[in-house]
A and B are shown apart, each in its own frame.
Chain A
Amino acid sequence: MGGDVSLAEQTASERRRPWSHILVFLAPAALIYTVFSIYPLLDTIRYALYTQDEHGIAHFAGLANFIDLFSLPVWADQFRNALLNNLIFFVIHVTVQNIIGIALAAMLSLPKLFGRNIYRTLIFLPTMLSVVIIGFVWQLILSPLWGVSEGFLRAIGLPQLFAPWLGQESTALVTISLISVWQFVGIPMMLIYAALLNIPEDLVDAATVDGANHLHVFFYVKLPLILPTIGLVAILTFVGNFNAFDLIYAVKGTLAGPNFASDIMGTFFYRTFFGYQLQLGNPTMGAAVATMMFLIILVGVMIYLFGVQRRMQRYAL
């Protein structure tokens, strides 16, 4: 915000009221964020401190919802299960998606690559598709009745590998995570690709003169220079994953089966807040779950900001 150097160059009248400009330029964003993000967020936290009676009237109840959420087995078990599944969901994303993203970006930035733009577009395309379409298409591909995956495995001589992956407790969450990775791998690829393009040719040339081969150049010259971008991608993935809901809702519904094996925070929140089939919604408990999601994301982002980003070594290019 408003650096001291530029301030010195301003006219005398402006110097007296430097804040007026800042206010004018900040106002639209501040207003929109306040009305559509900050206020609903604070109101959600406030609402989590209430309970509702059968007539739908809310009464202040302090931390009762949170105490229930952590201590009553009916809530605590679901919460723990959803949190654990969400962590697995995140770990799969951050490892598989980033490694594939880096590899794709590295290949795209090879100097002699034919059809670069076509690859880039094709790989990025799923990111722009609706989650409902992604869910539908992958359910069809993996379907044991009409899907192509069983035939494909048979064609390459591995029919015994096929299983109804989306329907088994042991595989449902991993399968959905990988579908999501497939959809969003374009984002880390593009960000890292842009970072790779920013690396000056001289550095690569100098390393080559010193006798480094392609792999050396990538691991010792390029990778350190794109680490800040990878960190950024990781934290974006973290925020996205702990807010995730739509793909699991589209593929498994809100009961996130089998036996809640694919239940994550988002589906747990939805089921709690809105209810499900004969289960009536509990908006105040839902608000408590939403508050927990907010706190988890907040803590995660803080750890990244203060623990990782500030210690990260940056190189001026």
Chain B
Amino acid sequence: MTSRSTPIFGRLLRSLLATAALAAGGAQLVSIPAASAQNLTIESWRSDDADIWNGTIIPAFNAKYPNIKVVFKPTPPTEYNAALNARLAGGTAGDLITCRPFDASLELYKKGQLVAVDDIKGIENFSPVAKSAWQTDDGKTTFCMPMASVIHGFIYNEEIFKELGLTPPKTMAEFHQILDKIKADGRYTPIDMGTADQWEAATMGFQNIGPNYWHGEEGRKALIDGKAKFTDAPYVADLTELASWGPYMGNGYKAQKYSDSQNLFALGRAAIYPAGSWDIPIFRKQADFAFSAFPPPLPEGASKCYISDHTDIAMGINAKSPNVDAAKTFISWLASSEFADLYSNSLPGFFSLSNAKVEVKDPVAKTFLSWRDTCESTIRNSYQILSRGNPNLENELWNVSSQVINGTMTPEAGAKNLEDGLASWYAPHKQ
């Protein structure tokens, strides 16, 4: 931390040293044959995917570039941002940085810790929307190569549905009828979600069903412009729907963690799992029954459907990496159609953002993907700009959504809480 306030002579000394090191490095480059191996380390929060990276993705890369040795070094998701920031500040971070969408990565770019990727071959394979999560506010510079988006919806146990004679719901009214039937049967947990970790309530709850209420991008942009407020009807209606979930959730859901929910569904003890598409690989591996998915049911009176198709994951280059060239080679490969196909199919549920035509083979992932044709896509409304201030909107959403489900806060009070927090620092919401 002290390095940022180093006196001027310290900085001078360091730049001198850096120049010397560069000169020495340059000399080395000349003397060592070009075939020598280079090492790259990937920082990531996807610890669940370590096997796929080590067993499938990196070998495929090495088949083309045998001289670049790549190590996948994940940190658990909740610790990733903190650990990465500390490592970047201390100069011990890996060469390739897996990028969170929007402000978390923008901050790194502004601090000079990520390099621009605009000149890297392959960036032309991505649409402006795909790149928007990793661009400066003016849209001129992109600092991470987009990789994949994730889609929200509900995964359900097909065998339980068949046994109880249920069909996937189209509307919220049907959704509640189904929940009542499962609850009346008594053997299975109707909604498999807990509030102990808080984020599922916001992400799999609020952001999952929400776009149908606030009309996707239209509502998300209105929030940013200050034309809509969290106290408006769509947001209160979303929270009101969440408030009705409590009785359908498992016994003691207040202490149920994310991994508990995953296990409960994989063991076949729960009927409906509010999901992110990234859960598919885990259930594919653990569940020995057929499962499928349905999109967020439509609220009363709505005819058009919206889904949360969230630009979630990208990769950038650590500006201080000694192997920037090798890192650029890797990033450029990430933009290829070969990677798009490999990633989408070895990790079904992560959908490549590339324009390349990818054939997704997993049937459940295919179901998720098919909603893009029938519904409008949007991203989570708290991610762009609105989580820059203090109190942090995303944290507030976690807290409010889980409290609304727990019944310790009314939907109206929750909405007011969110709006007050945002209005305290965000100018468009101040009037």
Contacts and interface: CB of A to CB of B under 8 A. Distances in A.
A275 B81 contact: yes
B5 A253 contact: no
- Classify chain A's interface size: 35 or more
A278 B399 contact: no
B331 interface: no
Contacts of A252: 196
A278 B106 CA distance: 11
A287 to B, nearest CB: 8
A257 B424 contact: no
Given A47-B2, A253-B197, A255-B395, A167 B252 contact: yes
Given A274-B81, A278-B383, A279-B394, A58 B197 contact: no
Contacts of B199: 277
B254 A280 contact: no
Interface of B: 1-2, 4-5, 78, 81-83, 85-86, 89, 100, 102-104, 107, 110-112, 194-199, 250-257, 260, 263-264, 382-383, 387-388, 390-395, 398-399, 402-403, 406, 408, 424
Interface stretch (A19-27, A137-145, A292-300): A137-145
Interface stretch (A49-57, A92-100, A225-233): A49-57
A260 to B, nearest CB: 7
A188 interface: no
Contacts of B1: 47, 283, 287
A166 interface: yes
A167 B196 contact: yes
Contacts, number: 142
15 contacts: A54-B111, A55-B112, A143-B252, A144-B250, A144-B252, A144-B253, A167-B194, A252-B196, A258-B408, A259-B408, A275-B82, A275-B85, A277-B78, A277-B199, A279-B392
A119 interface: no
A55 B113 CA distance: 10
B107 A167 contact: no
A58 B196 contact: no
A169 interface: yes
A283 to B, nearest CB: 6
A166 B255 CA distance: 6
B251 A259 contact: no
B2 A258 contact: no
Contacts of A275: 81-82, 85
B395 A279 contact: yes
Given A47-B1, A255-B398, A281 B403 contact: no
Contacts of B5: 50, 57-58
